[in-house]
Amino acid sequence: MKLQNVIDVLEALYPSYLRVDNDPVGLQVGSRQQAVTKILVSMDVDMDVVHEAVAIGADCIISYHALLYAGIHSVDFEDHKGAVVAELIRQGIAVYSLHSRLDTAADGLGQWLAESIGLQNTRVFLPTINEQFGFGRVGELAAAMSVADVTALVKDVFNVKCVRFIGDNEAMIKRVAIVGGSGEEFYPEAVAAEVDLYITGDITFHTAQDAKNSGLNMLDIGHYAEHIVSEKLQQILSKAVGIPVVATTVNTDPFECL
């Protein structure tokens, strides 16, 4: 099949109108007319992921995060990103990124995160187009859990080794909001939603102070919890396209717990 056929499937699943402003999603490298025989699905695109694509014979990478996010003015082969672009072109591998289209989809990242930790009676936390689409989810656990038990659950489900907690560690948790990636800016909405816990990533010091002073409990699970997109997309695309789709085995998380 051609790359355009793959793009048509992605457009049907995660339409372009779901994209938020200034998010460079879509075709990043390649030609819509090139042949695609195998797809690799990954959270990110770095040189290790490109090498993996070459090793398994994939000629298309569907990524969550865009490879070319900020505006670039040159492709310098001595720069890591430039070297990645050069290797992709050399190997004839296309890259197509979804990011906010997956974030805000009705059956996208927010729903997957919520389902992963067993949230019930969910609704979109931060609607965009309408109440059906938007960032994150708010829902309820089947039964109230201690902070320690929720933390253990989250670490196990998302395979994260380190988390940071802000708030009352003696609280019982029932109502939860969750946003993948960097969601600290939405802590006022979590306060307004009267949740027992807000789960997100990349929380900075001053936001943590403000959230704690507002009485909000927050759990910082980092950015890499979003890696669940690889397996989820692999499962969905395997049913939607008539070619092999493989989830990456590369861990692109730059952080380590010491």
Q: In the chain, what is the straight-line distance between the N-terminal and C-terminal CA atoms, in Å?
A: 46
* pLDDT for residue 75: 83
Query: Residue 182 contacts by C-beta under 8 Å, 6 or more apart in sequence?
Result: 200, 201, 202, 223
Instruction: Give the pLDDT score at 72.
Output: 73
Cβ–Cβ under 8 Å, residues 136 and 125:
yes
Residue 50 has a CB neighbour count (10 Å cut-off) of: 26
Q: What is the structure's pLDDT at 258? A: 85
Report the alpha-carbon distance of residue 41 to residue 226 in Å, rounded.
13
Residue with tokens 């939860």: 176
Residue ranges with strand state E in the chain:
26-29, 39-42, 60-63, 94-97, 120-127, 134-146, 164-166, 172-182, 197-201, 218-220, 245-247
Q: Does 226 count as an annotated binding residue?
A: yes
Give the domain ranges of the chain.
3-98, 104-225
Which residue, among 83, 46, 84, 82, has the nearest Cα to 63 in the 3D structure? 46
Query: 65 labelled as ligand-binding?
Result: yes
What's the topology of domain 104-225? Answer: 3.40.1390
Please indicate if the annotation marks 51 as binding a ligand: no
Of 91, 140, 98, 134, the closest CA to residue 115 belongs to 140
Q: Report residue 129: phi and psi, to 5°.
A: -65, -50
Q: With 0-12 CB in 10 A as exposed, 13-18 as middle and 19+ as buried, what is 205?
A: exposed
206 marked as binding residue? no
* Beta strands 245-247 and 218-220, pairing class: unpaired
pLDDT digits (tens, 9 = 90+) for 55-113: 999 999 999 999 998 777 788 888 889 999 999 999 999 999 999 999 999 999 999 99
CA–CA distance, 48 with 56 (Å, rounded to integer): 12
Q: What is the pLDDT of residues 49-62, one digit of tens each?
A: 999 999 999 999 99
Question: What stretches in the chain show pLDDT beneath 50?
Answer: none
What superfamily does domain 3-98 belong to in CATH?
NIF3 (NGG1p interacting factor 3)-like (3.40.1390.30)
Q: What is the CA radius of gyration of the chain?
A: 19
